Amino acid sequence: MSVKYIPVQWNNNKYIYDAVMLLGVGLFLYVFLYAAPGLLSHERPINPQVHNARAFGACAFVMLSVILCIGPLARLDPRFLPLLYNRRHFGVMTVFVAITHAGYIIDWYFAFSSSNKYEALLFANTSYGQLAGFPFEIFGIFALFTLIVLAATSHDFWMKFLSPPVWKRIHYLIYPAYLSVVAHVSFGILQDQQNHTFTVIFIGGAAAVGVLHLMAALHERRVDQAIKADAVDWVPVCDVAQMREGFARIKLLANGERVAVYLNEGKLSAISNACAHQNGPLGEGRIINCLVTCPWHGFQYDVTSGRSPAPFTEMVPTYNLKTDGAMVLLDPRANPPGTFVEPVPAPGREAKL
Which parts of the chain sit beneath pLDDT 70? 1-10, 37-46, 192-195, 226-232, 350-353
Asked whether 139 and 181 are in contact (CB, 8 A), the reply is yes
Asked whether 101 and 53 are in contact (CB, 8 A), the reply is yes
pLDDT reported for residue 231: 47
pLDDT reported for residue 175: 94
pLDDT reported for residue 226: 66
Identity of residue 215 = M
What DSSP designation does 194 have?
A: S
- Residue 268 neighbours by CB under 8 Å, 6+ apart: 240, 243, 261, 262, 321, 323, 328, 343, 344, 345, 346
Residue 319 — left, alpha, or beta (φ > 0 → left; ψ -120 to 50 → alpha)? beta
Closest CA to 49 of 102, 104, 97: 104
Q: Write the pLDDT tens digit of every residue in 15-61.
A: 888 899 999 999 999 888 887 766 655 545 567 888 888 889 989 99
Q: In 221-236, which positions are buried (b, 16+ CB within 10 angstroms) versus exposed (e)? A: eeeeeeeebeeeeebe
pLDDT reported for residue 182: 92
pLDDT reported for residue 280: 83
Angstrom distance (rounded) from CA 51 to CA 29: 11
Angstrom distance (rounded) from CA 311 to CA 292: 16
Burial of 177 (0-12, 13-18, 19+ CB in 10 A): buried
Task: Give Cα 175 distance to the centre of its chain.
Answer: 11
